[in-house]
Structure 1
């Protein structure tokens, strides 16, 4: 804590000398307005499943996000501090993308209530006339939601922008007075900076100097992420026994996920390349020392190292996805997009039941049970953390997780800063419609069942010739493209992007993006199995027991899963074989992220081994160099996201 304060003092001292820029540096790529990118095919189905599940019904019954709390009283006010802001930020894009009139009406009501209750100081929130201090952080997700609403309904722009500028003025005054910054605001200041940058870019209203001053003050009253992400201070192991030289919440998983955006957002007002360099290196270190084969990192409340039974919080999954998208937009390195796609197609669905009525607080790479754990492998989270339910351990992920799929979809297409080109970033089935520079009206339709297939067919219509870009992931080996039925040729991407010359009229091209099976080295001599964007795991057969059922909504249940078959296997990586059985109808089953639904599997020769458990609740570390205790057999690995109990990191042996 002392070191944190010292850095804060030095930062304030040098602020005027180091950060005197009065303009914002441009981003490498620009987002398109919410609603201009829509999911199609299985991806639309996935969002419909979410809407028909827990996320789409929270406002009807869940006291942490219930509509009845929005009409006044202290319950509503507490919602704006976290729950309501989280819910609003997630459900605005969810409702728009599935065109759900009921949800859209609720988000509109929420926005109207908050804006109409802004007080005469500009404050958005409850603490007026109370003894409770004003704290800034809970408003940041609300601002994200309000910005998204203006992208869909431009008639809201003046009202939202006016309210935001009033809030900026009071926030700036508070920061000057040393008010409004608790431990959470000190780590999550970058979210407010990004909202301020939206105002600066599109609606500055003559307040450019105040906006930049507020950005600077947020940084200098917050965590020095450039130090946290430096090689000197970044923790290389699980942190429960490691003294933190900064505020303890810097190593908190969700704060770390949000903090990934801090330095690229800082770069825009400092113009310092070092901010981008440190952000990129920090990203790499986070996954080097705490990463998972599912794409995400481990933090069962705090950074948790590499052990397969340590946990990953659902909130940090969706926040890392959002941060990775922002990092790509500012820096342009395809490694950010590759990882976001891997997280989305693995870690996100793995921590939700297929019907999305129950979610975990923590997921595990090797997860042999989802139950009240005794003993408990999580040093800072409760024994109930890996149960699938309404609000296991903490309720935050219940209202925050629905932002994952919608924001992945809305960030799937970008434009170049000159607005001349469209960039297809995240691969999957999409439709988009944008107007580029010189009034070039462009639509693109992507037909595919990717990541459950290697083939994508894109049809572009345009009023003028332009260059279209599509991301080619780093795992593609021998990829090809055929344009307008011409001879197939090898891909030639530059910095991860394949250019396609799209003529006025219609252009159609087919991508084939094959990949090799790869193994990833993990602790204790174990391995993980990857192919393309998907991580593969052994889907442990399971029993299901209802632990709890919500009194108001019977579909919201807490579920215990127990293994009903052996999971103690070593595998021979030399025998891994990819299997693809395309659906006869060409359409994937729904919900696709559930046991037995994937058309893609990997078979491997395995043998039973002795593999200890801790009590009966979690697997010990994979045993190195195990001996077989029975006959060899073939087992099948499924995409990680379809599994709810699993082994994702295996001991190895050499088969006969």
Structure 2
């Protein structure tokens, strides 16, 4: 690792250098121990995931996937040059190349196609799988480098492997073909790693994704290759970036990083790499059995959100970690990768803080960075976003001025092909089982149906009827062949939650480690949960505040104009949109006046799409007053003024769920109404 020096308020350069040397020697000792007398087998997870298709979305969540399928995600295969079928048949595009775009698209569209039962998407991904596996060469390599002199790097295949695993889960008839191809590739990869081949900067930082694939093979289809699989895991870790050191508090950046030297390879502070790297240490733990790996992963998670977190649940990185200021950006790829990593962290470690965070990200940051119809997406979203346009000046030091425009591929194309994994993978991780597979656990709250068989042949079906997070009530009907224990997550923000079983009087929920246990008898059991929450205030920089209730963050939805900047020649619905504020947004609020307003939608159904201006049934009102608040150029809000003076009479404003806003103020100055 490079011995660059980081200096902060508590560590001088010599102290930091010494710490790095000690850390490096410790890693050598750990490496020797792992390569010498490794524990036998892989450590168990806290929870086990269910095969794709076991959990299906219902109600408004199903509608979200339909909107996504009818939007950019479901149609880009028809026209978008990186993944269009007309390009890849000739072998000319990334769709067949596995360099990035095709793998990303494949990984996200498989669960989308399965969960909405879309035959067109299912045919497309099957064609992709067939094309890739049909072109595997005799060495085991998969990708465009077959029969070429192109250098062979491992990274671009990892999302493809995740996709192939999901296809096997949804269609077990594919098992032999996919598993055989994966084992052939692993044998080659192991040799390459021992020879120091196949690694470049991106592969060195994203090694954990391949480790997870290897662990799936080890857990379900080892084919007598356990030693080779574990050895390959070790080689990936020790040839990759040292996440156990990156996440140590003495090295972790506590502000935007553009002016800080990184003591590790520079891509470790890259936002999306950080999102993926969150999986590294729980993956390592499974073959080291070291509790220190889990402790470091948990600490790194906390540091990331402490120093770079957003009220919308996610963290800031406009390419690289960006601190706490509300004008800095968060990449859409980062959002969906953090959701996936958080689910994996919860399943390995079992700490409910991971599930709470993923649910908050999903119901706020994810929809906020897409238009309601999901035909246009941002590269970067902002917490305080007063325009979405070509920015002058540009607040993003490493990304272009077009980054917060809603469009087909503003700034970079990666989020166009990678964003579709967000909603379906959230759904497919919404339920898990205990390691003994005797109990079912409802993790992410929302409307679902589940059909599975637990240990002992216990066939179980579950339906969850709810508008959550736009309702506090969930009605769950469970049908089981045999008695078992059902667990449901009670989020940390719930206040005075109750549970009623089979019509009995409600009782207070009593979660342990975030889970409330329900003893379910054979037959049918009906569970009604009421999970109200209080309005809470989060302190933000410059004396500003953010407003929450339950999983939802609330923001002022700025009135806006819309201008079409460009439309795709083949698909006119794929447009780049400029949004500009048409109304006042410079307000301070009095937090003591916040009032929640919840209503039941007409007919009991939410509007479609629910994440668009004025459509959610939950709002919060506040007493506010106009203030002077500077603008940088004409495109983004300066930092919120501290203790501003009112420049006019107090008025009432309405705050809406953050995900429904496209221009917004999410961090407010405060004042005291008289």
1:145 aligns with 2:137: no
1:39 aligns with 2:60: no
Alignment match of 2:286 (pick from 268, 278, 281): 268
**Who is 2:533 aligned against?**
515
**CA distance in 1: counterparts of 2:501 and 2:366, whole angstroms:** 34
Task: Say whether the 8 Å CA contact 1:8–1:224 is kept in structure 2.
Answer: no
1:87 aligns with 2:99: no
**Who is 1:566 aligned against?**
584
- 1:339-387 CA-to-partner distances (Å, cap 9, x unmatched) read 0000000000000000000000000000000000000000000000000
1:527 shift after superposition: 0.2
Task: Say whether the 8 Å CA contact 2:316–2:322 is kept in structure 1.
Answer: yes
**Who is 1:220 aligned against?**
238
**CA distance in 1: counterparts of 2:28 and 2:193, whole angstroms:** 12
**Who is 2:557 aligned against?**
539
Q: TM-score, normalised by structure 2?
A: 0.96
Q: Give the alignment of 1:235-246 within 5 angstroms.
A: 235-246=253-264
Task: Say whether the 8 Å CA contact 2:95–2:101 is kept in structure 1.
Answer: no
**Who is 1:185 aligned against?**
203
Task: Say whether the 8 Å CA contact 1:65–1:79 is kept in structure 2.
Answer: no
- 1:604-641 CA-to-partner distances (Å, cap 9, x unmatched) read 00000000000100000000000000010000000000
1:73 shift after superposition: 2.5
SS of the residue 1:111 aligns to: helix
Q: Give the alignment of 1:140-219 within 5 angstroms.
A: 140-219=158-237
**CA distance in 2: counterparts of 1:615 and 1:77, whole angstroms:** 40
Task: Say whether the 8 Å CA contact 1:549–1:558 is kept in structure 2.
Answer: yes
Task: Say whether the 8 Å CA contact 2:485–2:519 is kept in structure 1.
Answer: yes
Alignment match of 1:434 (pick from 426, 439, 452): 452
Task: Say whether the 8 Å CA contact 1:77–1:126 is kept in structure 2.
Answer: no
**CA distance in 2: counterparts of 1:129 and 1:445, whole angstroms:** 51
**CA distance in 2: counterparts of 1:10 and 1:399, whole angstroms:** 40
- 1:163-196 CA-to-partner distances (Å, cap 9, x unmatched) read 0000000100110111111110111000000000
**Who is 1:383 aligned against?**
401
Task: Say whether the 8 Å CA contact 1:8–1:222 is kept in structure 2.
Answer: no
**Deviation beyond 6 Å, 4+ runs, structure 1:** 4-10
Q: Give the alignment of 1:202-601 within 5 angstroms.
A: 202-601=220-619
**Who is 2:16 aligned against?**
none
SS of the residue 2:93 aligns to: helix
**Who is 1:132 aligned against?**
150
Task: Say whether the 8 Å CA contact 2:136–2:146 is kept in structure 1.
Answer: no
**Who is 2:32 aligned against?**
16
1:67 shift after superposition: 1.2
**CA distance in 2: counterparts of 1:139 and 1:163, whole angstroms:** 12
**CA distance in 2: counterparts of 1:598 and 1:14, whole angstroms:** 52
Task: Say whether the 8 Å CA contact 1:70–1:110 is kept in structure 2.
Answer: no
Q: TM-score, normalised by structure 1?
A: 0.99
**CA distance in 1: counterparts of 2:94 and 2:59, whole angstroms:** 37
**CA distance in 2: counterparts of 1:10 and 1:465, whole angstroms:** 49
**Who is 1:648 aligned against?**
666
1:70 shift after superposition: 2.9
**CA distance in 1: counterparts of 2:156 and 2:107, whole angstroms:** 11
Task: Say whether the 8 Å CA contact 1:8–1:221 is kept in structure 2.
Answer: no
**What is the root-mean-square deviation in Å for CA atoms of aligned residues?**
1.3
Alignment match of 1:29 (pick from 20, 37, 47): 47
**CA distance in 2: counterparts of 1:373 and 1:357, whole angstroms:** 22
**CA distance in 2: counterparts of 1:586 and 1:14, whole angstroms:** 57
- 1:28-53 CA-to-partner distances (Å, cap 9, x unmatched) read 10000000000000000000000000
SS of the residue 1:606 aligns to: strand
Query: Residues 394 and 467 from structure 1, CA distance in 2 versus in 1: closer, same or farther, beyond 3 angstroms?
Result: same
SS of the residue 2:603 aligns to: coil
- 1:464-508 CA-to-partner distances (Å, cap 9, x unmatched) read 000000000000000000000001110011100001111100000
Task: Say whether the 8 Å CA contact 2:437–2:455 is kept in structure 1.
Answer: yes
1:2 shift after superposition: 1.8
**CA distance in 2: counterparts of 1:562 and 1:473, whole angstroms:** 36
1:111 shift after superposition: 0.3
1:79 shift after superposition: 3.8
**CA distance in 1: counterparts of 2:363 and 2:493, whole angstroms:** 15
Any stretches of 5+ residues in structure 1 without a counterpart?
A: none
1:11 shift after superposition: 4.3
Any stretches of 5+ residues in structure 2 without a counterpart?
A: 5-19
1:64 aligns with 2:82: yes
1:65 shift after superposition: 0.9
Task: Say whether the 8 Å CA contact 1:74–1:126 is kept in structure 2.
Answer: no
**CA distance in 2: counterparts of 1:76 and 1:225, whole angstroms:** 29
1:128 shift after superposition: 2.9
Aligned length: 656
1:76 shift after superposition: 4.5
SS of the residue 1:81 aligns to: coil
SS of the residue 1:254 aligns to: helix
